[in-house]
Amino acid sequence: MAAPMQRAWLGLLRPAVPAARSYEARPRPPWGGVYRPAPDDPFAPKWQLQPAYEAKLYGRHGSASGVDPAQLWPSPAKLQEMEAEEREWYPGLREMEAALDKKEQEEERRRVEREKLIAANMAKMPQMIEDWRQEKVAREEKEREDKARRERLLAKAQELFGHKVDHRSTKFQELVQEMEKKERKELKLKKKQLKEEAKKAAAAAPEAVSVSAGGAEPV
């Protein structure tokens, strides 16, 4: 009774168990022999088919491994590649010393230039502060003049429109802008006239000096 029940349970469990992959163990070498996988063996690990494995076998078993030591040396092209890589990533002592000297010289040059720049800026600092103060005074004076002119124009515009007019209205602002434009134009014309008069006076001064000098008669 127990045997049929056990077979029935095994029959139910068999579909749930995946099929196991067949395992083929590598052939066991004879005593003292060396195992070298065949190149066409599909089950051989890839690392056992590389030159590093051949070098490992030769290093462990020597000539008994059957490995030709001449094949373990890199080819001329590979050797040049290795030398170039070694020069790039592992420079010699003199090259490292030269690189360090060059780096120190560059850092020293930058330090000297930075100190010169700081010294030059510190020497200019008093004049820069004085220029800033003068600019600040001139700017504040101009702001006061603009404010006074603005208040004067506003007062003049209020006289035309009356004191009850809203100074924020568009018409009032347009009138003020027109008055400012007219005043700037008159000021520009006045400066031009003064400049022309100064030129005429400068031109007439040498003539008056020459006439006075030439008209003098000796006694």
Q: For residue range 22-75, what is the model confidence (pLDDT) as tens digits? A: 545 455 555 556 778 888 888 888 888 888 888 888 888 888 888 888 888 888
Domain count of the fold of the chain: 1
Kindly state whether residue 128 falls inside one of the protein's structural domains.
yes
pLDDT of residue 18: 52
Kindly state whether residue 163 falls inside one of the protein's structural domains.
yes
Distance CA 17, CA 21 (A): 12
Distance CA 52, CA 83 (A): 19
- Report whether 151 contacts 176 (CB < 8 A): no
Kindly state whether residue 132 falls inside one of the protein's structural domains.
yes
Kindly state whether residue 109 falls inside one of the protein's structural domains.
yes
pLDDT one-digit tens code per residue, 78-122: 889 988 888 888 878 888 889 899 999 999 999 999 999 999 999
pLDDT of residue 219: 41
- Report whether 44 contacts 38 (CB < 8 A): yes
Percentage of the chain exceeding pLDDT 90 = 17
Could you give the C-alpha distances from 15 to 12, 19, 26, 78, in angstroms and in order? 7, 9, 30, 55
Kindly state whether residue 118 falls inside one of the protein's structural domains.
yes
What pTM was estimated for this model as a whole?
Answer: 0.34
- Report whether 195 contacts 188 (CB < 8 A): no
Kindly state whether residue 117 falls inside one of the protein's structural domains.
yes
Question: In sequence order, which residues have a C-beta less than 8 Å from that of residue 47 and are 6 or more positions away?
Answer: 53
130: domain range? 103-194
Kindly state whether residue 143 falls inside one of the protein's structural domains.
yes
Q: Is 173 helix (H, G, I), strand (E, B) or coil?
A: helix
Kindly state whether residue 116 falls inside one of the protein's structural domains.
yes
Q: At what angle do helices 93-161 and 170-214 cross, to 10 degrees?
A: 100
